[in-house]
Structure 1
Amino acid sequence: MPWNWQKPDWPAFRWEHERLDNAEKQFLVNGGVFVGTIRHLTKQEHDQLTVEAMSTEAMTTSEIEGEILDRASVQSALRKQLGLATDERPVRPAERGIAEMMVDLYRSLADPLSEEMLFRWHRMVMSGSRNLRDVGLYRTGAEPMQVVSGPIGEARVHFEAPPSARVPSEMKRFIGWFNRTAPGREEPLSALTRAGIAHLHFESIHPLEDGNGRIGRAIAEKALAQSLGQPTLTALAATILARRKNYYDALEAANKGNESTHWLMWFAGVAIEAQRRTIALVEFLIDKAKLLDRLKGHLNVRQEKALLSMFREGPEGFKGGLAAGKYSTITGASPATTTRDLADLVGKGALVREGERRYARYHLSVPLRPVPHVTLTEHGEIAEG
């Protein structure tokens, strides 16, 4: 079966607009909710949101590709790039590079897409890589660019991209299309449709020797932010990571033709879920600030360390809650001290206890906000779960 770029209608992607109408409207409504919510943040809280959201995206977009990064190092690099106070810890090239790309994406959302921008992002993402021939430029290898899985001799080809010789012309056409379809330009497209097609189109060309997934998701983020006219800090990669197998399956199916309705419906569900994750994070940070402000001066060092550790788990909290043993591990406290500290935190309204004795588990007293999966039905209705 030929791939989408081998079809005579390439790259004339087409889709059923009416099946995306509800999702497009919901995305714009959620964008308004996000803007309204962040107005309640102080500058310090806004900076914290920016670092938390960007570090999560940096780590998860890398984890999708099998690269595990250190959160503290990513956050340190982000804070430095953003001009915020940092602990000046040593940071590996991988963490520094992805942080640089996230900040560049954040700051250049209104700028047109260009080869120079893509090559700059590629140099950042590939920082420290020693096994690539083509860094900061399109791939030039003569061998086929394939996405494969399975052992040698039994490998399954999930996709094969256009030959390297075609990449410059394909990318010139893609970049032109991306800029023409931006809000206020000649051929504006709605937010989710443009972001979804942009990601699919870029991944179908697969123009780089490595890093296509991370940069392709950054392009989708850029499209979503441009549609709302400001950085959205959308948790797109974090949401895709939670559905990684479905993501690859959906892309593989979409790579076989240029009728893209099902891909766009899948992408729209992910984008709306990602928005909800970001809004939940903002509300969580507001609750965190209120609780810590109320408890200021009333916690010992151990208690503060444990609470901050719980807050770092985000709006969904520790799985199963905090056990006494976990508290001891975090703080180094003895069993007797742990018991007293936890009872005191419950008494001060910082934690809520469930269960008794060795079955006791502790949860933050702020509302936890797990975000269910969002999908679109065949008729374009938004469904949860």
Structure 2
Amino acid sequence: MWNWQHRNWPQFIYNEEDFIEYERQFFEKAGIMQGSIQHIDEAGQETLKIDLMSDEALKTSEIEGEFLNRDSLQSSIRRQFGLQTDHRKIPPAEQGIAEMMVDLYKNYHAPLDEKNLYYWHKTLTNGRHDLLDIGRFRTHEDPMQVVSGPIGRPVIHFEAPPSGQVPNEMSRFIHWFNETGKDGRKKLPALVHAAVTHLYFECIHPFEDGNGRIGRAISEKSLSQSLGRPVLLALSHTIEENKKSYYEALERNNKDLEISGWISYFCETVLKAQDHTQEVIKFIIEKGKFYRRFEDRFNERQQKVVERMFNEGVNGFKGGLSAKNYASITGAPSATTTRDLSKMVEIGAFKKTGELKSTRYFLNIDY
């Protein structure tokens, strides 16, 4: 028996008081992040917004096994915000998920409705020709199942309500979401609302495809409404790092109405996501300090390498920058590479580790 087959569905069972400490930490971390962002200039804040949104678009797709191009995502998101871009041609998948992320950011405060969900589904399935129902709830008669294993011996992890029940289930879900949100008559705590939102939506599985990505987006909409601003949270990034635990948590909570375990998992994931976002914010702050410190002290080759290293993000080049990396990026001969790198160490822009072929260089930032 699946949870939606229980007589009391969808009256989920949990104790709000069990999650008070998670709630306190969530708002505390959100306040720290907002304060940290104030130390970033306007250009840096734009970079932060684009980086976090494109990373979320990338990771929410990777969770579902779809691997997109980061540069195309960033270009599409920048274009939709009216920012300068490289005017590249954007593939349909990257354009679609980017449109959904920007709409989520700009219209987080709007009540949830079918029209909004249909629009998100239409953007996500941009360029698809293999689906019967695009921009609407599923209508096929086959069971909507989550399965794994070989053909002929599938393991059924979950079966959603039949398509004929979806319109009524979604009408009830949308009413519940708005009524229990920040401005609703039956307001729930922020993390509890976002957690139940995700599980509830996934149990209905209303679309032919894209349910995971839309479900995570609705949870972020819930958190944004609770904060009164776009959340810019690395939720999908954190889930993707250990997506096996994510799917196991969903599966453990799709048969009964008691879902305390799922809410705890979700709360912990959100707090980890906030920590990662705070790391990205600090990285952007240190990037600004670095450029101010070494303004006009790099030649064109050195500038190109520094930009490339910062573009690698928080984790930078895996194992550090080698002389071979430098030569590959700049096209410089060996002697020029050695001279450029020695100068970067001399002025304090790079930190050097190792010797000979094991020599590696790292950005000298307080991170």
TM-score interval, smaller chain:
over 0.9
How many angstroms does 1:322 deviate by?
1.6
How many angstroms does 1:245 deviate by?
0.7
Q: Which runs of 5+ in 1 are unaligned?
A: 369-385
Q: Residues of 2 paired with 1:336 and 1:191: CA distance?
A: 58
Structure 1, 182-191 or 109-118: larger mean CA deviation: 182-191
How many angstroms does 1:335 deviate by?
2.6
Structure 2 residue 122 is matched with structure 1 residue 120: no
Structure 2 residue 16 is matched with structure 1 residue 9: no
Structure 1, 321-330 or 211-220: larger mean CA deviation: 321-330
How many angstroms does 1:116 deviate by?
0.2
Matches within 5 A, 1:303-318: 303-318=302-317
How many angstroms does 1:178 deviate by?
0.5
How many angstroms does 1:342 deviate by?
1.6
Give secondary structure in 2 for the equivalent of 1:353: strand
Say what the alpha-carbon RMSD is for the aligned residues: 1.1
Q: Residues of 1 paired with 2:124 and 2:313: CA distance?
A: 26
Partner amino acid, structure 1, of 2:106: R
Matches within 5 A, 1:320-331: 320-331=319-330
1:210-239, CA deviations, whole angstroms, 9 ceiling, x for partnerless residues? Answer: 000110000011011111110120000000
1:58-113, CA deviations, whole angstroms, 9 ceiling, x for partnerless residues? Answer: 11111111111111111110001001111111111111111110000000111000
1:364 aligns with 363
2:353 aligns with 354
Partner amino acid, structure 2, of 1:168: P
Structure 2 residue 172 is matched with structure 1 residue 173: yes
Structure 1, 316-325 or 51-60: larger mean CA deviation: 316-325
Q: Residues of 1 paired with 2:162 and 2:151: CA distance?
A: 22
Structure 2 residue 23 is matched with structure 1 residue 24: yes
Q: Residues of 2 paired with 1:101 and 1:343: CA distance?
A: 46
Partner amino acid, structure 1, of 2:256: G
2:153 aligns with 154
How many angstroms does 1:117 deviate by?
0.3
1:82 aligns with 81
Q: Residues of 1 paired with 2:228 and 2:357: CA distance?
A: 51
Give secondary structure in 2 for the equivalent of 1:159: strand
How many angstroms does 1:293 deviate by?
2.3
Give secondary structure in 2 for the equivalent of 1:250: helix
Alignment coverage as a number of residue pairs: 367
**% identical aligned pairs:** 49
1:36 aligns with 35
2:227 aligns with 228
Give secondary structure in 2 for the equivalent of 1:109: coil
1:377 aligns with none
Q: Residues of 2 paired with 1:302 and 1:157: CA distance?
A: 55
Partner amino acid, structure 1, of 2:118: F
How many angstroms does 1:156 deviate by?
0.9
Q: Residues of 2 paired with 1:244 and 1:229: CA distance?
A: 29
Q: Which runs of 5+ in 2 are unaligned?
A: none
Structure 1, 274-283 or 163-172: larger mean CA deviation: 274-283
Give secondary structure in 1 for the equivalent of 2:278: helix
Q: Residues of 1 paired with 2:14 and 2:342: CA distance?
A: 58
Structure 1, 37-46 or 228-237: larger mean CA deviation: 37-46
Partner amino acid, structure 2, of 1:48: T
Instruction: Provide TM-score, normalisation by structure 2.
Output: 0.98
Q: Residues of 2 paired with 1:327 and 1:23: CA distance?
A: 45
1:109 aligns with 108
